[in-house]
Structure 1
């Protein structure tokens, strides 16, 4: 089965674009990690209370 000229041209265009732009999407997004979700290894109850203080008590 042979490829038509437009198919080859499109593949070449995509190859050049990928070569210039690189991988634009990270393999793992920030939504897929625990980073930033407040998971801490060791927390005390005092730390939890201090984080939950209302702004007007700051």
Structure 2
């Protein structure tokens, strides 16, 4: 006998396949516009002194 198929797992797998197909179609039409992950590190919190130290000369 075969084991019963888990409907939730099958539905999840189908959703993943649909999403992958959608991404492939978008990439075919528009190309890879943005990478999946950011290349730049997360934004750092800067205090006022950093901005004063890095102020351009024409703003003094």
TM-score w.r.t. the length of structure 2 is: 0.35
TM-score w.r.t. the length of structure 1 is: 0.36
